[in-house]
Chain A
Amino acid sequence: MNRAHRAACCAVGALAPAAAAAAGMHDALQPAGPQAGHVHALWLLLLGVCTLVYILVVGALLIGVARARRGDERAPADVASLAQDEPRLRQSVGAAIGISIALLAVLFGATVVTDRALARLPLDGALHIKLTGHQWWWEASYDDPMVSNIFSTANELHIPVGRPVLLTLEASDVIHSVWFPDLAGKKDLIPGRTATLALRADQPGLYRGQCAEFCGYQHAKMVLYVVAEPAAQYEQWAAHSRASAPPPANDETRRGQQVFMQSTCAMCHAISGTIANGQQAPDLTHVASRQTIGAGTLPNTPSALAAWIIDPQLAKPGANMPPNGLPPADLQALVAYLRTLQ
């Protein structure tokens, strides 16, 4: 296991920056918040103890077989032990068992302590977000005492650094599980039940989360990003997100909006401030401001967006969005329009 740790550290050293740059960080060994921090401390303790135990046990075995006498099938076996017992062996085995029990007690204590520490995360002034798992995307609804201030987004959370966040977890179809390795342990989203997950990000950054419970064809492409940013920036983002979509400014985007409303799109997607209010698929009011499309499937670029609209099944087979054989001009207009939804 100590090999494990060194290997882990090298690997992290090598990969994490790259990953962080491109895809957001996702590493349980690089905690960016108190919850993951507590767990990381527990991990280090367990890793240390287990490594020690491994070395001792395997060492004892290898030394034993190395220095034991060699025998031969044909030689009669030594059955003396059946007659008289072996006090030295008994004592050493007994001691080994005693030590194991003691170590387990330590580990159990550490576990309980960590458990309590996790439960003690102060939640006053927490940001409340209702997170709903769908096949295969995340719907987030930012709660607010003022109903008019409630807004929803998809597949990308923005949270203020240093402020606790309380996620209320629900599932609309099958069981999902939300997991941000750098921020906190995972929690299942189970149909017919409600769970909560408390976390806090202490360092700004882009954190990658992913569904951790097998949920069907696209379990692999059900990513949820967390953008942790300073409070001011966050408030700015929230205010912007509450606003409804800007009306199309030029002919092309106007045509794009028309296409959106008159083709399949509006059947499932919603854009606040327009007649499109489908509730089945991600809210697109500010789609252009997100990092990715298709819950982390493609980067949010015009070409990728066009490809996605034409046939989502190529990038994400099984996803619930149908292919749309739009004429090129319509497609171009639609993409242009969607790009304006900052």
Chain B
Amino acid sequence: MTAASPPAAAGPVSRPHRREPAFELRQRYGGWADKPGFLGALSTVDHKRIGRRFIVSAFAFFVLGGILAALMRLQLARPDSALIGPDLYNQLFTTHGTTMMFLFAVPIMQAMAVYIVPLMVGARNIAFPRLAAYAYWIYLFGGVMLYAALVLDVGPDAGWFSYTPLAGPEYGVGKRSDFWAQLITFTEVSGLVVSVQLIVTIFKLRAPGMVLTRIPLLVWTMLVTSFMIIFAMPAVMVASTSLILDRLVGTHFFNPAEGGDALLWQHLFWFFGHPEVYFIFLPGLGFVSTIVGTFARRPVFGYVAIVLSLIATGFFAFGLWVHHMFATNVPELGKSFFTAASMVIAIPTATQIFCWIATLWTGRIVWRTPLLFIVGFFLILVLGGLTGIMLAAVPLDLQIHDTFFVVAHLHYVLIGGAVFPLFGAFYYWFPKFTGRLLDERLGRWNFWLFFIGFNVAFFPMHILGLQGMPRRIYTYAADTGWGPLNLISSLGAFTIALSVLLFIVNVAWSAKRGLQAGRDPWGASTLEWATDSPPPPGNFHPPLAVAGREPLWEEGGIAGRVDGLHDDPPELLVTSLLDATPQHRIVFPTPTIWPLVAAIATTVLFIGSIFTPWAIVWGSIPVAITLIGWFWPSKDETLKHRKVEVKP
């Protein structure tokens, strides 16, 4: 059962919606099949197509953000450099941070989840798939808006944190900060919607038999992350809304002279901003758990401990936000509390790291590129975590806060903790996405260049910070002596760029000529490997019931199949929250263009409201119309539904 099936197995059914004519698809997959052609592509509600799109777009934004970073490193490579002026530089670093946080890190984790989670829990689609389509379009339009703005010299220039008053009505001249604030609205709507879908998918669409203690660790991380997003993201939405109101209609939320307060912004922003670090980094831990388990050829040690640490992290993450504000006159007692909290949160992460090390000690290791990236993850993240503890110590933080030391720290945590596992995940799931394996040799080059480049680029920044180099400066004088280390750092940055280029080449080449992967190239244990690569529309025909935590490893881990679900209209089995016993069937939405149209209407509303508050009024009319169109059932659909209807 664990042996990879021969290439032939991936023959006719791989990439069905590319190779087969529409009627055949419809015949085979009933209501799961997309409409043919371009319109079909625009109106798909298949979580795999949406997820793939989401991943590719988020990666594209990663590359764009990286290009901005390269430009900054170019400017900082030499002292007194005149390449880039302050005005442009401020737009560059603001857009870089905003892109990486709001358009890459969070979305790509959710995008991976949109693709993988339904498969891992044995569902035939994600909950509310039309909403997934809407979330993707909204996200895409928001990102495009940001870069259109940057090109038009309206790129936000007050930092990704947009502190007031610098981003406020008096000092944030023009419309730059408004575009930032609206980008937040776009990405948050998208992010929040996807979190709700993931939670519902994980709660209600698990395969029969997948009781809580059999949920794969990656799914657990996505569940915790989604809950964190639901409670953290509203903070930044409220904040950015208040900012726009201050700028557009003259409210006084952040105006000290009229009873507002500049620090109110920082509290709201970091109440979101700190948890955000964790909901970028937790999914990374999920990838690590998955890959470590598969390539150590044994279940990850300490399943319960890891799940509990994830949940603990989720809670603690909300108790740390003030450690971004230690320099702003926080009361002594408060400081000690937040120091303690910031140190305590290291324990759950440490626990997981120890569990993985234990797993690797006792496993039978298979060296493949994904595992390579995971080892890189350990070497980098542990260092980043330790500098994090240094930053949690208030007195030391007051020295290194807002210096390049912090730049180094956050990149060690986010690139080490999220991007390395993510690349591991790309190598690991690419065969499931496309039916073909990524090239191993290119993969190793990709890894080593990334790993070396990363450390060369970011390690020196620790020292620069200690030597007094503040963040967000567009240039520095030669006599500060910061030149040599900055030059080294820039060289490292370009090495990273090279390795990412290699990765893109690898993807482009392997997608066409890579080895046929077959169903389960890694001999992995979770359900996504129980269906074809790539999975057909509707994922499982028929759906399966599980009887173990590692369904494909354990004897009898696959209990059997589920009968009696229609494919036209497409039906799913809804199971109970705790013990995943069947509760009822549910007819699923079919492909439609309305999510796209609604997203366009919403985009008009959001962008309009940058310029006039009245856009909220007139803009809501097309939104309402498109939503009613989306909402309105057609006659034949209704009849179809009635045909299969059984009242509770």
A–B contact at 8 Å CB threshold (below):
yes
Q: Which residues of A contact B (CB under 8 A)?
A: 1, 3-4, 7-8, 11-12, 15-16, 18-19, 22-23, 26-29, 36, 38-39, 42-43, 46-47, 50, 53-54, 57-58, 60-61, 64-65, 68-79, 81-82, 86, 89-90, 92-93, 96-97, 100-101, 104, 107-108, 110-112, 114-115, 118-119, 135, 173-175, 177, 179, 181, 184-188, 190-193, 195, 208, 210-220, 296, 317-318
Asked if B124 lies at the interface with its beta carbon under 8 angstroms from chain A, I say no
Q: Chain B contacts of A211 at CB under 8 A?
A: 470
Other CB < 8 Å A-B pairs besides A23-B481, A97-B350, 13 of them? A29-B467, A70-B364, A74-B4, A76-B2, A76-B523, A77-B298, A100-B350, A108-B343, A111-B336, A114-B396, A185-B327, A185-B397, A213-B402
Asked if B249 lies at the interface with its beta carbon under 8 angstroms from chain A, I say no
Asked if B615 lies at the interface with its beta carbon under 8 angstroms from chain A, I say no
In the complex the two chains form, is B165's CB within 8 Å of A11's CB? no
Asked if B204 lies at the interface with its beta carbon under 8 angstroms from chain A, I say no
Q: Which of B256-264, B500-508, B536-544, B623-631 contacts A (4 or more CB under 8 A)?
A: B256-264
In the complex the two chains form, is B479's CB within 8 Å of A54's CB? no
Asked if B521 lies at the interface with its beta carbon under 8 angstroms from chain A, I say yes
A–B complex contacts, Cβ < 8 Å, 30 sampled: A8-B463, A18-B479, A26-B480, A28-B468, A57-B353, A61-B357, A61-B360, A68-B296, A70-B367, A75-B523, A77-B550, A79-B299, A92-B354, A93-B302, A101-B347, A107-B389, A108-B340, A111-B336, A174-B166, A174-B171, A177-B402, A181-B468, A186-B399, A186-B402, A208-B480, A210-B470, A212-B401, A213-B402, A214-B166, A317-B86
Q: Chain A contacts of B378 at CB under 8 A?
A: 57-58, 61
Known: A75-B2, A82-B550. A111 touches B394 (CB 8 A): yes
In the complex the two chains form, is A214's CB within 8 Å of B471's CB? yes
Known: A188-B328, A192-B262. A89 touches B358 (CB 8 A): yes
A192 vs B476: C-alpha distance in the bound complex, in angstroms? 30
Q: Chain A contacts of B550 at CB under 8 A?
A: 77, 79, 82
Asked if B390 lies at the interface with its beta carbon under 8 angstroms from chain A, I say yes
Please name the residue on chain B nearest to A181 by beta carbon. Answer: B468
In the complex the two chains form, is B363's CB within 8 Å of A68's CB? yes
Please name the residue on chain A nearest to B405 by beta carbon. Answer: A28
Interface code B403-440, partner A: CB below 8 Å = 1, 0 otherwise? 10000000000000000000000000000000000000
Give min CB distance, A33 to chain B, whole Å.
12
Q: Chain A contacts of B346 at CB under 8 A?
A: 100, 104
A185 vs B163: C-alpha distance in the bound complex, in angstroms? 21
B399's partner among A39, A73, A93 (CB-CB below 8 A) is A39
Give min CB distance, B148 to chain A, whole Å.
23
In the complex the two chains form, is B476's CB within 8 Å of A220's CB? yes
Known: A77-B297, A96-B350. A64 touches B364 (CB 8 A): no
In the complex the two chains form, is B362's CB within 8 Å of A68's CB? yes
Q: Which residues of B contact A (CB under 8 A)?
A: 1-4, 85-87, 90, 158-159, 163, 165-166, 170-171, 256-257, 261-263, 295-299, 301-302, 305, 327-329, 332, 335-336, 339-340, 343-344, 346-347, 350-351, 353-355, 357-358, 360-367, 375, 378-379, 382-383, 386-387, 389-390, 392-403, 459-460, 462-463, 466-468, 470-477, 479-481, 485, 521-523, 525, 548-550, 553-554
Give min CB distance, B555 to chain A, whole Å.
8
Known: A36-B399, A50-B390, A65-B375. A193 touches B329 (CB 8 A): yes
In the complex the two chains form, is A107's CB within 8 Å of B393's CB? yes
In the complex the two chains form, is B475's CB within 8 Å of A73's CB? no
Give min CB distance, A114 to chain B, whole Å.
5
In the complex the two chains form, is B358's CB within 8 Å of A93's CB? yes
Give min CB distance, B101 to chain A, whole Å.
16
Known: A18-B479, A39-B395, A57-B353. A79 touches B86 (CB 8 A): no
Q: Chain A contacts of B85 at CB under 8 A?
A: 317
In the complex the two chains form, is A212's CB within 8 Å of B403's CB? yes
Give min CB distance, B177 to chain A, whole Å.
12
List 3 tightest A-B contacts by C-beta distance, closest first.
Answer: A192-B256, A185-B398, A71-B364
Please name the residue on chain A nearest to B168 by beta carbon. Answer: A174
Q: Chain A contacts of B476 at CB under 8 A?
A: 220
Q: Chain B contacts of A119 at CB under 8 A?
A: 332
A218 vs B549: C-alpha distance in the bound complex, in angstroms? 57
Q: Chain A contacts of B468 at CB under 8 A?
A: 26-28, 179, 181, 208, 210
B364's partner among A4, A68, A179 (CB-CB below 8 A) is A68
A8 vs B390: C-alpha distance in the bound complex, in angstroms? 16
A81 vs B2: C-alpha distance in the bound complex, in angstroms? 18
Q: Chain A contacts of B335 at CB under 8 A?
A: 115
In the complex the two chains form, is B395's CB within 8 Å of A104's CB? no
In the complex the two chains form, is A7's CB within 8 Å of B463's CB? yes
Q: Chain A contacts of B339 at CB under 8 A?
A: 108, 111-112
Q: Chain B contacts of A74 at CB under 8 A?
A: 2-4, 523
In the complex the two chains form, is A68's CB within 8 Å of B394's CB? no
Known: A1-B383, A65-B360, A115-B395. A77 touches B480 (CB 8 A): no
In the complex the two chains form, is B386's CB within 8 Å of A93's CB? no
In the complex the two chains form, is A1's CB within 8 Å of B395's CB? no
Q: Chain A contacts of B299 at CB under 8 A?
A: 77, 79, 81-82
Known: A73-B521, A188-B328, A217-B90. A96 touches B366 (CB 8 A): no
A82's partner among B367, B395, B554 (CB-CB below 8 A) is B554
B463's partner among A4, A61, A89 (CB-CB below 8 A) is A4
In the complex the two chains form, is A81's CB within 8 Å of B394's CB? no
Known: A8-B463, A174-B171, A218-B86. A93 touches B351 (CB 8 A): yes
Q: Chain A contacts of B367 at CB under 8 A?
A: 70
Known: A92-B358, A214-B159, A214-B166. A46 touches B548 (CB 8 A): no
Q: Chain A contacts of B462 at CB under 8 A?
A: 4, 8
Give min CB distance, A293 to chain B, whole Å.
13
In the complex the two chains form, is B479's CB within 8 Å of A23's CB? yes
Known: A92-B358, A173-B165, A217-B87. A4 touches B549 (CB 8 A): no
Give min CB distance, A74 to chain B, whole Å.
5
B396's partner among A3, A4, A43, A187 (CB-CB below 8 A) is A43
Most buried by A among B262, B347, B467: B467
In the complex the two chains form, is B393's CB within 8 Å of A219's CB? no
In the complex the two chains form, is A19's CB within 8 Å of B481's CB? yes
In the complex the two chains form, is B393's CB within 8 Å of A193's CB? no
In the complex the two chains form, is A86's CB within 8 Å of B362's CB? yes
Please name the residue on chain B nearest to A119 by beta carbon. Answer: B332
Please name the residue on chain B nearest to A218 by beta carbon. Answer: B86
In the complex the two chains form, is B298's CB within 8 Å of A78's CB? yes
In the complex the two chains form, is A97's CB within 8 Å of B166's CB? no
A298 vs B550: C-alpha distance in the bound complex, in angstroms? 67
Give min CB distance, B476 to chain A, whole Å.
7
Give min CB distance, A53 to chain B, whole Å.
6
Please name the residue on chain B nearest to A4 by beta carbon. Answer: B462
Please name the residue on chain A nearest to B555 by beta carbon. Answer: A79
Q: Chain B contacts of A208 at CB under 8 A?
A: 468, 480
In the complex the two chains form, is A216's CB within 8 Å of B166's CB? yes
Known: A19-B481, A212-B403. A68 touches B360 (CB 8 A): yes
Q: Chain A contacts of B360 at CB under 8 A?
A: 61, 64-65, 68
Q: Chain A contacts of B402 at CB under 8 A?
A: 177, 186, 212-214
A90 vs B463: C-alpha distance in the bound complex, in angstroms? 38
Q: Chain B contacts of A7 at CB under 8 A?
A: 459-460, 463
